[in-house]
Amino acid sequence: MADRLRANDISPTHQRVEIARVLFERQEHFTADQILGSVNARHAEVSKATVYNTLKLFVEKKLIRELIIDPTRVVYDPNTTPHHHFYDTVSGSLTDIPADQVRVMGLPPLPPGMIADGVDIIVRTRPLNEPAMSGPTQPE
Amino acid sequence: MADRLRANDISPTHQRVEIARVLFERQEHFTADQILGSVNARHAEVSKATVYNTLKLFVEKKLIRELIIDPTRVVYDPNTTPHHHFYDTVSGSLTDIPADQVRVMGLPPLPPGMIADGVDIIVRTRPLNEPAMSGPTQPE
DNA sequence: TCCGCCGGTTAGACAGAGTCCAATACTGGC
DNA sequence: GCCAGTATTGGACTCTGTCTAACCGGCGGA
Ligand SMILES: [Mn+2]
Ligand SMILES: [Mn+2]
Ligand SMILES: [Zn+2]
Ligand SMILES: [Zn+2]
């Protein structure tokens, strides 16, 4: 894990390695708070400020992606391959959709002088019988 | 405007009508704070609590849509026809993409027991020469 | 060995969006 | 006009995320 950080021009401090382990060994979608909790589950190792500092650094270095899907918090995605998401509006859970099969057609030309930076697709889903929705249940 | 609210089972109070006027006459994307500011531009007419109450009500009644694109605030969209968005990651501005031309192919089947609730596409864009990005400049 | 530098970490204060509450004001059907 | 339900409101509060200023620690040079 330290080598992986070094390979991306990041000095592998103890805190950064611990955060990277949570992200890359588990390969799930995480909020900052979940990472803080996971890293410090056994005993305090990392502060809130460092979690935010480190996540920002990892995003800059393109080790992870930010997902803006939940109105109340940013979700971090250790999967940086091009992909989209199913978003269960009831439970709040996210599922990856590999992008290589997906094709979007008929998009209009970009506003002049603009360059495309990426396309995000979010498929909102809901359990078959669930009575419509308002907001997802916040886990823990 | 009062009739439009009544037609959607909403009693047209003074405050709700003022908020509806901002949303539907201007037909732009708004944050709660922008609506609060617009309605109260001349003199105080509506409180923050009422703006949030009313926006939530309008969303329930499907007069407007919530857009989750900016990590720091929800954007409200008075255009409820199916459409997607260009998102200028530098200025933060949103531009509608009518959905009728757009076709998404190759999406995998939904997780079992799930029903699709909608598909949102966000095309992130950037001015041609702009030096990549981090966060959009917050207007006002 | 000692010292200074400098990047990294940290507690806690702070900012901003959004929610909640209990008191007050309004509405509309009678 | 009365009154019961509905809506509005200031302000306290919560929560995510940012900032700051102190601190820590490894390394390199004298
Ligand atoms: Mn928020
Ligand atoms: Mn936030
Ligand atoms: Zn993902
Ligand atoms: Zn729109």
pLDDT over 70, % of chain A: 92
From residues 11-40 of A, list those within 7 angstroms of strand C by Cβ: 11, 13-16
From residues 79-138 of A, list those within 7 angstroms of strand D by Cβ: none
| pLDDT tens digits, one per residue of A40-58 | 998 889 999 999 999 999 9
Q: How far is the CA of A140 from the centre of ligand 1 (A)?
A: 18
- Whether the Cβ atoms of residue B88 and residue A114 lie closer than 8 Å to each other: yes
What's the pLDDT score for residue B134? 57
| pLDDT tens digits, one per residue of A26-38 | 999 999 999 999 9
Contacts of A100 (CB under 8 A, 6+ apart): A82
Contacts of B42 (CB under 8 A, 6+ apart): none
The full set of domain ranges for chain A reads: 1-80, 81-140
| pLDDT tens digits, one per residue of A89-131 | 988 999 999 999 999 999 999 988 999 999 999 999 999 876 6
| pLDDT tens digits, one per residue of B63-120 | 999 999 999 999 999 999 999 999 999 889 999 999 999 999 999 999 889 999 999 9
Q: How far is A18 from chain B (nearest CA, A)?
A: 25
B6 CB-to-strand C distance under 7 Å: no
pLDDT over 90, % of chain A: 82
Question: Is the CB of A68 less than 8 angstroms away from the CB of B66?
Answer: no
What's the pLDDT score for residue B1? 84
Nearest CA in chain A to B127: A114
Query: What's the CA A73/C1' D15 distance, rounded, in angstroms?
Result: 9
Q: Choose the closest CB to B125 out of A95, A115, A125.
A: A115
pLDDT of residue B138 exceeding 70, the answer is: no
pLDDT of residue B133 exceeding 60, the answer is: no
Q: Please state, rounded to an integer, the average pLDDT across all residues of chain A.
A: 92
Q: Please state, rounded to an integer, the average pLDDT across all residues of chain B.
A: 92
CATH for A1-80, options being 1.10.10.10, 1.10.3720.10, 3.10.20.30, 3.40.50.300: 1.10.10.10
What are the chain A neighbours of B111 within 8 Å (beta carbons)? 86, 88, 95, 125
Q: How far is the CA of B74 from the centre of ligand 2 (A)?
A: 10
pLDDT of residue A88 exceeding 90, the answer is: yes
Q: Choose the closest CB to B114 out of A105, A118, A126.
A: A126
Average pLDDT over residues A65-74: 96
pLDDT of residue A139 exceeding 60, the answer is: no
Contacts of A107 (CB under 8 A, 6+ apart): B97, B101, B102, B123
What's the pLDDT score for residue A129? 78
Residue recorded with tokens 């201007």: B26
